[in-house]
Structure 1
Amino acid sequence: MTLLNVSDHSRDFAGMTYVYPVLSRRAGGVSVGINLNPNNACNWHCVYCQVPNLVRGAAPLIDRAQLHQELSGFLSALVDGDYMQQHVPEGLRTIKDIAFSGNGEPTSAGDFADIVNDVLAIRDAAGLTAVPVRLITNGSLVKRRAVQDGLRRLAAGGGEVWFKVDGGRREDIARINGVDLDPASVSRALAKSAELCPTWVQTCMFAWDGEVPSEAALAGYLNTLEVAGLDALEGVLLYGVVRASMQPEAVRVSALDEAGLMLIAERIKEKGLTVRVSP
């Protein structure tokens, strides 16, 4: 009998294409993942990413009928079957969320807004209306009208966005996320996301070549959130590195200790934001 654990988020655990279960530190229990990027394609290249054979690109055409079959069947196994007893440690046998995450940027899927509707309808049919649906995103495609429509639908279904911001200076974004972005564009996208749907900032902090984030890097990060509008944000989900990176830069990435993360959390709290820390 194989048990889920927080250090292994294998997309193949349940043997499906689009649906996979994980134990989420941030959610605090079982998260039912929706992987719209089974081709391992993403428009970013984050140095801490656990996806093997990551390539640049977008989500493929999604077989919505197969997604429906996988998700409805798996939710039934969780609710009515013995899946929890077989694969989830005692004390964690609660469905905490359904999360668009997976092996790349989920909003790159062409039918993203319609897929949001599908997932909400499947959740409700399973009697899980109290379970939130979350979008874990790098926010780079929020400017697209179709993505904005998806965020509106997510909000209407009681969902929320977890919006990745790992750095606030152009050089930090390039080093950590592998993209050349003006920090002002990150702030604009974050503000738009918060306007359309309740939005948490999701931030991974770690040591780079053994060095903790510099004061200048932290100041740039905080400025990016401030420009977006602190009052519009739900808060910050601050976490450290637990699972091994599968990227070439993995040798340069190492975990901060809990005390180091808590110091960063205090800096964020000074801005008046709620912070949840997952070492």
Structure 2
Amino acid sequence: MDIKAFFDPDTSTVTYLVVDEASSKAAIIDPVLDFDPASGKLRTSSADEVLAEVEARGLHVDYVLDTHAHADHLSAGDYIRRKTGAEYGIGEHIRDVQKIFRPVFNAVDITPDGHVFDHLFSDGETFAIGGLNVRVLHTPGHTPACLTYVIEDAAFVGDTLFMPDYGTARADFPGGDSATLYRSIAKILSLPPETRIFVGHDYLPEGRTDYRWETTVAEQRAANRHVHDGISEEEFVEMRDARDATLQPPRLILPSLQVNIRAGSMPPEDTDGRTYLKIPVTQEQ
């Protein structure tokens, strides 16, 4: 298995290209569409960089996989699906996320059954990327639909865990829950100690100047600042809830969720033939 990471500095997101070298079959995990909210301009540069690697190596992309419906970047899942013919997969609880956010954006075109994705994975489900074995873990808490993809000796955890010196995901989004997050992390950290963990973001905590995205179960259990061995669920929940109360929404949360619950697709064209993203307005007193 070969794993190549592509880091997007604008959203601090890591996209992974996972390759079975024996068969040249591949999967792309958590790809990014480039979106400038100030101008409304959408580009595919980040996804095209991954696809250029695919073409240069003569790979066949079997799957494009999202770990969850991201709130910090727009998914390039549909773009890659259309370019490669790959199947687009996400967790089956994306239906819950669609149900939560459909009324937020009055997204009447959305049927909250997940049918816009090709495959809705359930906890414990297995599949293959060429000769690579993949096992799916449902790891909610950050969102209801979060998955971890365990591919051979590597676990792709999305936003559930970060590097040990940064900690863990927030749990204050609709459908999130800090106690559920703690139990999901415990599920991940029950994997063999040598299991490699690939995280979905890195935000350069104070004291570090280089971006990192690979760690191990053993390192997380020993040194994760939020959830190392010995931290109880009660302690974690108290810390996580207090920290989340101080956080601002991600910069791209409104455009991201509208696109990502539609499987990386834009809303339907308006009567003028253009596409628009909505900003729900709440009048504060």
TM-score (norm 1): 0.32
Looking at secondary structure, tell me which structure has more strand per residue.
2
Looking at secondary structure, tell me which structure has more helix per residue.
1
TM-score (norm 2): 0.31
